[in-house]
């Protein structure tokens, strides 16, 4: 049986796990991301985690997942979690250090691959994944394969333009879905509405909404409208059989998101009606780790 390490580099934690080629997660652990989020410190932390996880084991490959734009040859072109990183050849650096094959990919791609191998999308070859977390991540599976585009950085579903105003997105644009439907976007909107006096936590928005707090109602209604708008476009563009919603916000907003499938269904072209369903992720915390290890094992990048 072949063994791979999956490492998911996030802005707060670096998660790691040992994964077998049948999708079994043998071990899972996480360490704090260095506060500086600098290139050298973070790579050092990743190497330490790899050393810890590979102790006494023969490892076939290592997969690294990161938010942002990751080129086909494993260069982190840009990552919202690590603003100082520009064109870092992470694959080449780690392969030189470790002497084994390293694969680097976008974290939402990794999550989607995990869903396809062992999660809700098992046996489903056309689906999209949208992760509502710190940002909004996206991945597209079509005819059983991840769609990546010419540079390998496609599938940025979170940056579809759905609005005309609001805070500036991490990508520099205005009107991206991410600015209305992510933790970072919603916390900016809460500040703009003066809601940060009531609570700093985006997860509390659901409770305020339930109580009928006026500003929370405005923000959440806008969140729902733009999410719906984005999903309707994805259905028309990709014709998915399944839409998987992941990320922490999809957990906190579970009640708010109820009825979404029906609402989207009502607004798509008649030919698309009833062609898809919306499900919540099967994998949460371990998604990136498991998926990227499987991408590395199956040589899918």
Least Å from the CB of residue 130 to Zn ion = 14
Instruction: Pick the closer one to Zn ion by CB: 65 or 176.
Output: 176
Q: For residue 122, count other CB atoms closer than 10 A to its CB.
A: 11
Least Å from the CB of residue 42 to Zn ion = 23
Least Å from the CB of residue 169 to Zn ion = 3
Nearest residue to 5 (alpha-carbon basis) of 74, 70, 68, 51: 51
Instruction: Pick the closer one to Zn ion by CB: 176 or 268.
Output: 176
Tokens representing residue 236 in the block: 């028309």
What strands lie across the sheet with 61-66, from one edge to the other? Answer: 25-32, 13-20, 3-9, 61-66, 101-106
Instruction: Pick the closer one to Zn ion by CB: 100 or 171.
Output: 171
What strands lie across the sheet with 69-70, from one edge to the other? Answer: 69-70, 76-78, 86-88
Least Å from the CB of residue 189 to Zn ion = 15
Measured CA to CA in angstroms, residue 41 lies from 4, 6, 16, 96, 294 at distances of: 23, 19, 17, 17, 26
Instruction: Pick the closer one to Zn ion by CB: 60 or 233.
Output: 233
Measured CA to CA in angstroms, residue 277 lies from 42, 169, 244, 272, 273 at distances of: 39, 29, 9, 11, 10
According to the binding rule CB under 5 A, does residue 50 interact with Zn ion?
no
The number of residues making up the chain comes to 301
Binding residues for Zn ion restricted to 168-227, rule: CB under 5 A: 169, 171, 173, 176
In this structure, are residues 278 and 97 in contact, taking their beta carbons and an 8 Å threshold? no
Least Å from the CB of residue 32 to Zn ion = 27
Instruction: Give the binding range for Zn ion (CB under 5 A) out of 134-142, 166-174, 195-203, 239-247.
Output: 166-174
Instruction: Pick the closer one to Zn ion by CB: 162 or 208.
Output: 162
Instruction: Give the binding range for Zn ion (CB under 5 A) out of 103-111, 128-136, 157-165, 255-263.
Output: 157-165
Binding residues for Zn ion restricted to 82-121, rule: CB under 5 A: none
Instruction: Give the binding range for Zn ion (CB under 5 A) out of 5-13, 152-160, 235-243, 245-253.
Output: 152-160
Q: For residue 193, count other CB atoms closer than 10 A to its CB.
A: 15
Least Å from the CB of residue 179 to Zn ion = 7
- Alpha carbons within 13 angstroms on the beta-carbon side of residue 233 total 12
Binding residues for Zn ion, rule: CB under 5 A, are 159, 169, 171, 173, 176
């Amino acid at each position: 049986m072949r063994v791979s390490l999956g490492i998911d580099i996030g802005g707060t934690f670096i998660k790691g796990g040992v994964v077998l080629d049948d999708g079994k997660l043998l071990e899972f652990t996480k360490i704090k991301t260095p506060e500086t989020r600098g290139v050298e410190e973070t790579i050092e932390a990743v190497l330490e985690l790899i050393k810890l996880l590979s102790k006494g084991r023969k490892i076939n490959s290592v997969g690294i997942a990161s938010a942002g734009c990751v080129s086909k040859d494993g260069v982190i072109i840009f990552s919202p979690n690590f603003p100082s990183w520009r064109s870092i050849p992470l694959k080449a650096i780690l392969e030189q250090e470790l002497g084994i094959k390293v694969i680097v990919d976008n974290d939402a791609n990794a999550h989607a691959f995990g869903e396809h191998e062992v999660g809700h999308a098992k046996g489903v070859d056309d689906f999209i994944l949208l992760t509502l977390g710190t940002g909004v991540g996206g991945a597209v599976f079509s005819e059983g394969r991840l769609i990546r585009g010419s540079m390998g950085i496609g599938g940025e579903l979170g940056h579809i333009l759905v609005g005309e105003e609001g805070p500036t997105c991490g990508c520099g644009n205005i009107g991206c879905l991410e600015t209305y439907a992510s933790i970072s976007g919603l916390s900016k909107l809460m500040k703009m509405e003066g809601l940060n006096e009531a609570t700093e936590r985006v997860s509390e928005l659901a409770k305020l909404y339930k109580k009928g707090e006026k500003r929370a109602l405005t923000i959440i209604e806008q969140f729902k409208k733009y999410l719906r708008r984005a999903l309707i476009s994805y259905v028309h563009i990709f014709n998915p059989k399944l839409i998987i919603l992941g990320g922490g916000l999809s957990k906190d907003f579970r009640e708010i998101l109820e009825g979404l499938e029906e609402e989207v269904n009502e607004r798509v072209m008649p030919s698309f009606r009833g062609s898809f369903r919306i499900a919540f992720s099967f994998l949460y915390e371990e998604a990136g780790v498991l998926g990227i290890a499987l991408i590395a094992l199956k040589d899918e990048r």
